[in-house]
Amino acid sequence: MTAKKELNFQIPVLVTLLALYPLIFTPYILPRWASLMAISLFALTVIIKDKLFIYNYSFIPLCLFILSVFLSSLFSSYFQEAWLGAPGYLSGFLSYLFFVVLFLLAFGVVSRYPGKIERIINIWLLSASLIAILGLLEYLGLNILSSGRVVFSKGLSSSTIQNSNDLGTYMAMAFPFAAMCFLQKFSYRTALVLGLVYGCLLTTFCRSAWLGAASGLVFILLFYPFKKNVMPLLVIMLIITAVLLPVNNSMLLKRMGTFSGEAEMTMAGDPEGGSGRLLLWQEGFRALPQSPLLGSGPDTFYQVSPEKFAARYGENGRPAHKAHNIYLEIAVTMGIPALFMYLWFLGSIVSKTDWRNPLQFSFFVMVVIYLVRGFFLVDVITVYPLFWVLLGFYQGLKIPGG
């Protein structure tokens, strides 16, 4: 009875963040940030009330990382952005505090009640399936989220996430869990979830998420020790790809065909390479020497990038708002030590993973996918809090009894 009483708020908070938070439909960042703050403050209350704090070796790099972010914010010349975040992103120091709180709650719950994790993941996958359905309908021309009315217009999938790149990241994170569920149990339900997640991932046209998911699939095919249902998995993915390729005048096929051209431009040093990312990276490396130890403050990349988007937008081009590379972004805005601590923290999470455990292996692949797409995209509060919760689950599973 005691354990049941303690779980009354712990599980709902985590389910709210994983399953309901992504369903918030708003084109504005402030309501989503306010929702994240409310969930995180409630999570902190639960941690304190139920005494969920349990020491783990990953807390050492985590504490050093958040200390680095704090010092970067404290000495930043851009006070508002460093603490609250830039307009349109709101990923300043306070947001990182929210992420840490969510990580601690997820870790504490799973380390004490490991049997609850599969149920929570299944609920998350159901939410992801609903988001995927809305995204696929949007791609096919039925947008039921536009201004509160049904709109018949074809476009990239963005669903409730409201950004195709961020939706691609979200679906790429869900992909290994959907795939592993299918590999463990071939059924109509697991096949449907896999098909929806993979299909929606394709229709976001997010090539960075595609690369991440492809890397994750390679890990599954090469290193997961149990090969049952691998062929049906590949067949389903092939069928979905073949069905979607000719839709919307073969837009998906044309998008896939841009990989080689973008790669050639990047290798040639063209600022337009990688959809302008090479220019962003060049600006980031030029800004890096300005404050290599503490950075300019979280979410302040657009304040310190020395050049304009002249090559892309003309002389009146706006500053580069984000580095579109999470590693360069952290180094420039929070300092090189913060990047080192962050990578140390992630290394402590993926270490000691039992690859014969399907759930642990799913989490490992999810981290690989996220880090691969991180070379080309940014962290946003639409999706990034989910990553921290999943990291907490991952670490909690690996302690004795987890």
Residue 273 has pLDDT above 70, yes or no: no
Say what the pLDDT of residue 122 is.
Answer: 96
Residue 274 has pLDDT above 80, yes or no: no
Q: How confident is the model at residue 4 (pLDDT cuts 50, 70, 90)?
A: very low
Say what the pLDDT of residue 6 is.
Answer: 44
Mean pLDDT of the chain: 88
Q: What are the pLDDT digits (tens) for 92-139? A: 999 999 999 999 999 999 988 888 899 999 999 999 999 999 999 999
Say what the pLDDT of residue 259 is.
Answer: 63
- SS3 sequence of the chain: CHHHHHHHHHHHHHHHHHHHHHHCCCCCHHHHHHHHHHHHHHHHHHHHHCCCCCCCCCHHHHHHHHHHHHHHHHCCCCHHHHHHCCCCCCCCHHHHHHHHHHHHHHHHHHHHCHHHHHHHHHHHHHHHHHHHHHHHHHHHCEECCCCCCCEECCCCCCHHHCCHHHHHHHHHHHHHHHHHHHHHCCCHHHHHHHHHHHHHHHHCCCHHHHHHHHHHHHHHHHHCCCCCCHHHHHHHHHHHHHHHCCHHHHHHHHHHCHHHHHHHHHHCCCCCCCCCHHHHHHHHHHHHHHCCCCCCCCCCHHHHCCCECHHHHCCCCCECCCCCCHHHHHHHHHCHHHHHHHHHHHHHHHCCCCCCCHHHHHHHHHHHHHHHHCCCCCCCCCCHHHHHHHHHHHHHHCCCCC
Say what the pLDDT of residue 268 is.
Answer: 47
Residue 335 has pLDDT above 50, yes or no: yes
Residue 251 has pLDDT above 60, yes or no: yes
Over residues 355-376, the mean pLDDT reads 96
Say what the pLDDT of residue 144 is.
Answer: 78
Over residues 168-173, the mean pLDDT reads 98
Q: What are the pLDDT digits (tens) for 195-234? A: 999 999 999 999 999 999 999 999 999 999 888 899 999 9
Q: What are the pLDDT digits (tens) for 6-39? A: 447 889 999 999 999 999 988 889 999 999 999 9
Over residues 247-272, the mean pLDDT reads 70
Residue 267 has pLDDT above 80, yes or no: no
Q: How confident is the model at residue 156 (pLDDT cuts 50, 70, 90)?
A: confident
